[in-house]
Structure 1
Amino acid sequence: MAEFRQYVCWSPVTAATTISTEAVSPSPSVFFATHVPLRIRRRHPEAKAEGLGTAVTEEQVRRDFLGRPTANGVLLMPVTGESGTGKSHLVRWVQEKTPSTDKRLVIHLPKTSTSLRAVVRTLLDQPGADTAELAQLRADVDRMSSELDVDSLQRRLINELSEAVTVADAKPGAARVLAGPDKLALLLLDPHVRDHLLQPGKLIPRLAASLLSDRRDREGDRPATFSLTDLPLDIADVNKASDKAKRLLSLITSRPELQTAAVEILTDQLPVAVTAAWNMGGGRLQQAMLEIRRQLAQQDKEIVLLIEDFVVLQGVQRDLLDALIEAGVRGGKTELAPVRTLMAVTSGYWERLEETVLTRAKAATPYLYNLDAALDIDEQGQEDISIFVGRYLNAARVGQEALDNANVAAGAEVPNRCKTCDFQETCHSAFGASAEGYGLYPFNWPALRRAIRARPAHDSPDTFNPRAVIGEVIRPVLVDHAQALNGGTFPDQRFREDYPTAEDEEFLLGAVQREIEERDSGDASRRKTFLEFWGDAPRNLTNLEPEIHHAFGVSLLALDDVVGNASQSATRKPDEPASARRTGVRTATGELPRAIAVMIEHVEEWQGRQSQLPQGTAAYLRNIIRQAVINRCLWTDPVMAEPLITELDRAWPLNSTVVSIEDAGGERLPGTADAPIRFNRNSGNATFFRQLLLAGTDVAGNAAAVRRLREITELHQKNLQQAAQRYRQVTDKDLVLGIRASLLGAALAGRAWPGMKDVDLLDASFADGIGWKRADSSSRTPQWNSLQGMHQNGRGILTERLKVGVGFTRGKTGGVRIIDGTRALPLVRQAAQEWTWRKPESPLPPWVDKAVSGFHQFTAVIDAQCALLQQNIVTIRTFLPSGVSGSETVAAVDQAYRAAVGEGLGPEDLTAFQALLADARQADWRCIERAERDLARAAAAEDDESRSRATLAACAVDRGEDLAVIERFLVASDSWLTKRLQQARLRGGGSGESAVLRVQELLRQWMEVDG
């Protein structure tokens, strides 16, 4: 029976052939045996912020991709994320689940097929693609691939790059200095500069090599962009360059903005150089792909294109993308086969695509799938990480052949090697296992966590990068360190070098290391690594579980005399230093206060031994710095009401989101990464902290800290004010939104409308509206009056918060007395650029929400009021044709009234009619023409926006009661005269006859207008 000591439950050879860092390399059975559901979020392509979108599964991605109708025969779905997050894995998963059919042609571009020949042949070697043009393109690519070697290709790349830079359009700014044939293009042709650009490790040689050969497993991504390190800025003997090249080099070296411009120009023109070097310019591949789509359309087929890495298409990306997003439906007829494209591309590269291409691409992109949802390497992520690692460890133990035989690729259950192991119970108890029952041996969770953090990808030690974990942790330990484990030397010095302690992990304290050296001098180095990784760096010398010692062949120590052994607490309290070393600082009166001395020692350990700064000490330092900024803030940049203490405690809290100290307690709060005041671990900051702690004692020599603290307060007052603005929700964006709501409400009350002077709009924006009543409310639609009333209910809190955002106060509890017009006026102008209400994507500030209740109907309410006003004018003009005097009409009606009353033909309610006559006599009849002009201005507007603004201006004006009085007078007069006219005709003579005749003439004119 085998012994668990130094037991290796896998074959290193089998592990090496089974585990691959690339999604395309493993067999289908290994792929599905190791597949762990990805953290995918589906979002709109314009959404920028991380974390936005809907969480979806791989199957949901596949169903959406294959089932969504194409727009004009085109569907483009990018899979975005940083390198190593699983983009290619998702594309491979969809490929494995999506076979070709008689209606669907699946074209798969694997990530490992990086040579240009492989890419082009994969695209063109399709059924039915047999035209002479396609054959010639394939032959040209084959010929170039056979004739070119790395040396000749990289020279051609530089030549074509020089030509592309020469004819490229000059960009604005610093790039113009480099434009033209005698600038950057000339530099590329200088022999001495070319030698520098062709040095090993530079972009051109690496790109040439990747274009000529496919990517090997564990090989880095294809280089896609130039960087500053590729520029010839450090040429040893610049005098060997030509005079012009030397002058340009000197200029570029001295100006960083030119260096950035040079990198951008070279990167932009690199694809052009690649296609030209390969004799594929002029859009040949684009035309070839369009021809393939045209032929497949005749076969009633669609194309499903799966691209595992868009970067591998370097040189043909533009042509291919243009062909993929070309509309296939023209004039209602399908001329090009529909094409569905799922492609993996880094987020940054997707956004850097040429603007014209990106705009067209996004038009065919209903969603993109993002895999940047980070999995933190902490206790919360332990279960998910253990599941991921467990599957790979199990696949390495089982091997590809057994997985193939188990039919895992067809959906069969994955064999668990641990179930047949004699040491399963012992191993899982000591080292741990995933939730699916796969053992973590030879890791346990602390060792796994530390190993992952020791080899971070992209400078993100707290972010789980699947590719990095597979390629830099799992595979190396199983393959490269298996012999050391079997030989009883694991973890050895090589392991220590491969996995240095990450910054966020605790070091083994010096006192513990010295104790190890004294008690285990023969194997001290291995025991230190063993305790730091598998024991999670205990604060005191201790033994771990005996089974872990036994497995690695690390002896147990006799530790009965060690304080803080495994049977005791191994954690040091923040206010009890482990060593007896003092600070060495003495005050004039003797010893330092114990609390200050302890905190100074914490700072020394934080800097000198890379230990974590305890939370209590960090909070004490944060409070000194935070309070200094608050005390010196004048609240004038921009002007705003000084916040209350309770508001400051929430807006500018005493924690790491305001003052962040590297590797200090309390640094894991959300938002810490965006803290405005940040301190890295270095000797300068440690000295500053030490002096701050001593500033309250009688120890001299702290003036430098006081000066630096003053600089910090001056630098970060603006950050404090911005934080207060965000807490109060009175940022410029919030204020513009609130002012727009206020202006629209003022328009409902007849106090503001488009076209008013800025100062009048400013007054209306900040008016609380108390006492606002419309004189023409009887002429308003019920919807208008209702919406105005709802706004008035919330206007008080709206304008009060607007004043707080841009006003002065007297004392912390006083109200706003003065508005800062210099700041407020630009905000009003910005708000007045739009006189409609669109609900923002982000939640409304609570102080705005009540005032805009019902504003989603604002445009409809305005339109209804405009229709009512037009109807009022039509009614008036029915009885009062243009050019007829209102005063004469009133006089005529009055004369007819007097005569008619004498003849017994007057209105039924004489008192009411007399009052109406009096009101009409006092009315301003010019209001009719003003209303007509306003309505005509809206009707004559040339575009929708101008028409909307003019309509609102016509409706918002408070026209008083004159229009309503005139309309009632004319309608009542018409009703009376029409009713009595027949009676007047039947009665001849009398004193009322002449008056009746005049009224009849007036009625005749009205009837002509009325039809």
Structure 2
Amino acid sequence: MAIAIGPSGKHDWSSLSEEQDYLIKSLPALLYDPFFRKHWLKEAGIIHRLIVHTLGRRDSVEIIEERRQFCVEDLPLNVLEIGKSSAQAREFYSFLIGNDYIQKASVSWLNAHLDEAIAKVLNLGREDLQRLMLDVRRALARQGVELILLIEDFAKLQGIDREVLEAVLARPQQGKGEPLCAMRTALACTTGYFEGLIDTVRARTAFNVNLDVETVDEESLVTPADVEQLTARYLNAVRLDEQEIQAWLTDTDEQTGEPLDGVPSACSTCEHQVSCHKGFGAINGIGLYPFNATAIERMRLRANKGVFNPRILIKDVLRHTLEYHRSDLEQGRFPSPLLLQHFGGSNLSAMLIREIESRDTTDNARRREALLNLWTAGQELCDLPSEVHTAFELPALGKLPPPPPLPDPVLPPPDDDSLPDTLVGYISDLDQWRTGTQLPQKVANELRSKIFSAIDARIDWDAELILRGHVIDKLFKQRNINFENAATSSHVKDIELVLPLTPEDLGDTAIALQALLLYNHHQHWKFSGGATYYRILARKLDEWSQFVLQGVAKCSTKSGEPGDPVPAVLELLALAGRMAGRPTASLEDLVNVIFTDLEKVEVTNRSGSWQKLFETLKKHQPKLMEVLQSRIPCTKGGSSRLQVIDTMQLLEPLQAISSSWQPQVDVSNISSNSPFSAIVDARKAVDELLEQALQDEKNRHTVIYERVVNELGEDFSKNEVVDAFQRTVEQARVSGLAGGVNLPSLRAAIEDFQKAKLKAYLSSLKKLQENDDRQKLLPLISGLSVRYAEIITNFLDRGNQFLTKVQEETQRELENLRSTGSGELEVSCQAIEASLLDLQQLASEINGESVCS
């Protein structure tokens, strides 16, 4: 198919539209791609149906009313995880799913090349087949032989059917060429298929015979009694020996040729005749075993929907049952689940199936399900005549026992008489879904909102220590609920609930979903069977709720395995709080540090790497807190606000990080989906920047400490330094040498320096300079006051600026005095010299060796 529709196919390139040109280049990728190939080759998919139709399958009921073709529903429009497909297939698929026009164009293009693809599979090209047929007819013409061609099921030739027609309709005389033999063809197909042939073919047929059984006022002319009579005759023929039938046929009237005796009955000499006819029924003395009247009618209607077709009755009901299930009849395994599957599966309600399972063994339950589906009306659990149970070796249930004890009592299904037609249809759809029929989209949509609300109400978020607002409508949304074998499903991330949870759970899941619909209608559980529906729904809701809760842990990991993101989050929040300078000496401090408001922390005076790391942690803090708060709350009444926390989850991770201040938790399996992506991004920044930030900050503080030691001495007296400096400033002001100095700013710097408690700060600076232990660097650095570093730096900068200004001003004044030759020169020089001596003495005092206070 991919070759036929692609660049290597047979196309009229001169007349291609833009859409067709695009499809030639892009559509084959969707067929070649291994990921999408699983969709194309799925059971009962279009390719599977075409193969079955073309090559045949003996054990199936198949009526071909029209040519098999692609339709829009056959396209892969609801495929999940398309990231596993190739880039080319993914690109075309993304365009296809949102464009109705391209969808229809794709279907038309596929159908236009379908016959070519089928012919390739059969290894018969159009020219090959026609040439072969013509060669055969020429050879037969030379021998004077007429060819008669009989085709039992013309629909089976799809793909080469038109070529066959061209060959058989070719006239014997082909102009001047060698003549062909005369040929007569009889082919059989359904009315619908025949009407689908092109007009020129139908016009060239000599005549056609319509064997459809007509109807009058929508009522078939064939009655159930007619079908039973036909069935009885064939059953009788099967039971008779061939010699007995031949003897009856040959013992005829010489004049009329009619048999002298009536049709012999195999039942006349059977020792089981009385009990068999009593249990299964009989027509004109011929028993219906292993059928009864109900079984014949129900099997026929399942195999032959619409106008009665005797061939289908014989082939797909009688022959199939007697030939393919003969061993089951002989060994006491009839009717088997395979027989029921052949006739379309079970139509019993989910509640009735559950009742059967509660009263029978596993093997017998499956057989009884087939028996009730086909030999009864299928409305209730009942016994057939005892002769039927004896013949099938399937014990009768007898007087039905009382309901079993809780939690699995079984009651009859609800009374549908009072239910709206829509609800009755939904319940029926769920019964069919249980037997393998696809769940319609409208039913799935109706159920999603109800399941979502029920699970939300069922989970005790407070007891689970999970913040409801973090899960509902975030990790778990209404569209996250999907169904196996549904018409549509949505692509979701985080927590996806697919029902049933296990294939074996399909029956009870269908009942639980019916219970939701029934309760939504009645608004109480007092309807018929309500108690049973309630118990099944309650059990299923517990399972679904537990699945969602487990999903909360699983959705935090890439692998889908349960995981706990709390330790990784605590490490990052503790590091951020520690960088913000918050204390961590006690357990109380450690707990408080993770709730630090980083927005209020100023780090502009820190090193560039420190600022970058801190800003990254601050950026991700809201998402980190979201993850943390969703898993440690002690709330009340399902409150969405965090009021009390479960500190037991915090202690071990916080104690671990505080021992080294190096992250240890493995985050390689943390999910990349929000909000968990914040863990990965923040941890990446820590791994890349923390060591550099610590080293840069250590270097910055070391420079400050060395400057203090160089300019003030290692053990200086703060009071003496301040006193000496203040006297120097005052002397310069009195002497008129402070004209270029901003005295208010200088005095403010001196005042800040005087008030600051620098002893502990300078002691920490000294420890930091001497310490190379990475585990102790973060507590030391983050504990250093940024304000004290600013005060010391500001004091030293302004002090040095002041002294430089005074020296420059003094030198300028001396030069001015010398140039003027004033009589006051001697006096001024003496005053200046005295001032300079005072300044020199004060500078010496500032660099003195008094103890810092």
Regarding TM over 0.5, the answer is no
Larger radius of gyration between Structure 1 and Structure 2: 2
* Larger relative contact order (CA 8 Å, sep ≥ 6): 1
Name the TM-score class by shorter chain.
Answer: 0.3 to 0.5
In the superposition, the TM-score normalised over structure 2's length comes to 0.44
